[in-house]
Amino acid sequence: MNQRLTGFKCKSCGRVMYPKHERCLSCKGTSMGEVELGDQCTLITYTKLYTLPEGIEMPPLTLGIVDFGGGVRAFGQIATDEPKMGMKLRPVWGKLRRLGDKDIYGFKFEPVESG
Ligand SMILES: [Zn+2]
């Protein structure tokens, strides 16, 4: 699948958010346009969740905040067991987890192999 990660840009102040928020985090505006976030980002911070809600089969789950440059940040699942601050990642579309008998798909961020 060749999905592109799309962010949401506030039409009032230009702040880009992902995932989508009801209201702009900066100016509370509600008018958003879609904007492509690109295919490379940097890991800013992460947290590992060892206690998972029932029905999720992929422990431990790493969640992180990535930066696409220009202050554009996104929040999502980090697809590595050894996350490091500042590592290069790219958004990939795939199965995130299993919830009951349903597979949940979405974007996660996987390390870009360097060399
Ligand atoms: Zn705004």
Give the pLDDT of residue 3: 73
How many other β-carbons are positioned within 10 Å of the β-carbon of residue 55? 11
For residue 45 the two structure tokens come to 């911070």
40 CA to middle of ligand 1, Å?
24
In the chain, what percentage of residues exceed pLDDT 90?
53
Distance CA 74, CA 19 (A): 7
Best-predicted range by mean pLDDT (48-52, 56-60, 97-101): 97-101
| Predicted confidence (pLDDT) at residue 1 exceeds the cutoff of 50 | no
Summarised one tens digit per residue, pLDDT across range 62-102 is 999 999 987 888 989 999 989 999 999 999 998 887 888 89
75 CA to middle of ligand 1, Å?
18
Distance CA 107, CA 55 (A): 19
65 CA to middle of ligand 1, Å?
20
pTM: 0.78
